[in-house]
Amino acid sequence: MGQPGKRGPERPLGRAELGAEPGERATLVQFSSAFCQPCRATRRILAEVAGMVEGVTHIEIDAEERLDLVRELGIEKTPTVLVLDSAGRTVRRATGMPRKADVIAALGAAV
């Protein structure tokens, strides 16, 4: 998975921005769109990893419903995955369907 956001440091994201309670140790945030085929596979991969690692939550955000957040974070494609640490800071960011091993490795930077 990629490096922190290319637009410089982003503000921490919490329940208000994510629309759900973040994970205790880390949060996998997925930006998706309705007709995105890779988003479905990404959803399965992230949910599986979140289920394997205690304290990690997967939150999926519909990019079309949250254009404000999409613009603020510079999300240009779906799926885009952000790995947030326990404070809600982005520690990794990637576009496209991730490999399960890469998601697990990216979590290492967050927990």
Reply yes or no on whether the pLDDT at 25 is more than 80. yes
- Compute the C-alpha angle 42/80/62, nearest 5°: 85
pTM of the model: 0.90
Give residue-wise pLDDT tens across range 80-103. 999 999 999 999 999 999 999 999
> What is the rounded distance in angstroms from the CA atom of residue 38 to the CA atom of residue 28?
16
Largest CA distance in the chain: 32
User: 3-class SS at 26?
Assistant: strand
Q: How far is CA 31 from CA 54, 107, 110, in A?
A: 22, 17, 19
What is the mean predicted confidence (pLDDT) over 56-76? 96
The percent of residues in the chain predicted with pLDDT above 90, rounded, is: 86
The pair of three-digit structure tokens given for residue 64, joined into one six-digit string: 């079309």
